[in-house]
Chain A
Amino acid sequence: MILSATAGHPGFLSPTGVEIAFLLVGLATFGAAVVTVTTKQLVHAALWLVVALGGIAVEYLLLTAEFIAWVQVLIYVGSVVVLLLFGLMLTRAPIGRSPDADSGNRWMALGASVPAAGALVWVVVDAFRTTWIDLDGPAQGSTKASGEFLFRNWVLPFEALSVLLLAALVGAIVLSRKDRQDRKDRKDRPDRSDGRTAGQVRPDTRARRTGPDRTERPAADREDNS
């Protein structure tokens, strides 16, 4: 699609080395992304996501944004994918092929995403047909330049971001600790004579006690082991 779209431009016939590298890495990234959203093995999807995110990091390097490339490697490849793998393990994801990885509306999803991709590629190529990025000169995204613009012009958003990270930390802890409270309630439940009436129990707690999935809930057992 890239080849046919830019074939009319004379610059395409003599691509620079950076363009060839960008094209090859971009094809690998796109292929890895497609495998990520189509594979039926959940752990393989996370591992192909590593390839896609690493490819994007290489694209950042080719665009001379070095600092963002290493941030991408550290945060996305290093922590986000590990978090996703932990999530897959904690939700007892099947190791082999799971036939129900895709929902029933995958053809509708295909019908939504493919025309969107076609229209957007057409618009983007038509808009930027004669636009070139000048990659010469000093690197615009080196660590020195990044530190300067980040701590000279963007200090306030940077500090606000730390507050957001703190809020996310507290929120994740709260979401995880809520279950402990529920388990305490569940332990109190067998003897009804502790003065606790039914009205004091929260509705969601009761939903969990009486639901049919109570027997097939392995998470509580797993937490007892840990």
Chain B
Amino acid sequence: MLAEVRMDALKIRATFVRDARLMMSYRLVFLLDWVAIVASVASLWFVSRLVPASVAFGGGHVATYFDYAVINVAFLTLQGAALQCFENSVRNDQVYGTFEAVLATPTRVSLVVLGAGAWAFTLAAIHIALYLAMGSLFGLHLDRVNLATLALFLILAVTATVPVGIIGAATIVRFKQAAPTQTIFGRASSLLAGVLFPISLLPLWLQAVSWMLPITHALSGIRGAFRGASPADSWPDLVWLAVATIVLLPISLVVLRGAIARAKRDGTLGQY
């Protein structure tokens, strides 16, 4: 059992190293990502100069628009990683022609797909760190962070959004084309998850839709952590994310397994 866990860890590490090497082989794209982060933080700072501090940005406490928006935009990258990494990994392996070669090894399919998250979330963490570092240069307040709350919400933000990404990967395996998950969740989040403005500004029916998005609760909790809120203070969001994880994660793995079984029956595993 322990040997198997160790073997799985080694395989995830190998996938991490592969993805890091592939990413580093596109150095310009890698650098442009960093430039985009700097530009994004600077833009938010200029916009924040037009928007006065408000309790709407601080969950009942007065907070600046800059703090609100930088934290949201920074941590939204976690959702982007979750939605894209599995889907892109399967798609890239199909296009490179490596998918069948990988699946012919004694490695579980779920490990192959989930392993793609290792580098993607590491990169997302680096991007978040850069957002926060840049933000602090522009005056982002990082002095009241509750690390326990932040850690809890980071974990749950990942686990609650990963299933959507896994279902996207299953769609690629089954139908050979991208699922609309990236579009629906990615675009909808910008509008509905309170990334650039508080959801209280939305009509009530859109607020209801917003409530159903995992990232809404994740960002709400993370903003709370930066204000010093304890896990107990943020329990509704914690419970929402935990329940979403418990319900969605097994479902997504079953969907992925079913898609792969179907592709094996149809002989289309490596096709795209």
A binds B: no
Residues in A lying within 8 Å of B, measured CB to CB: none
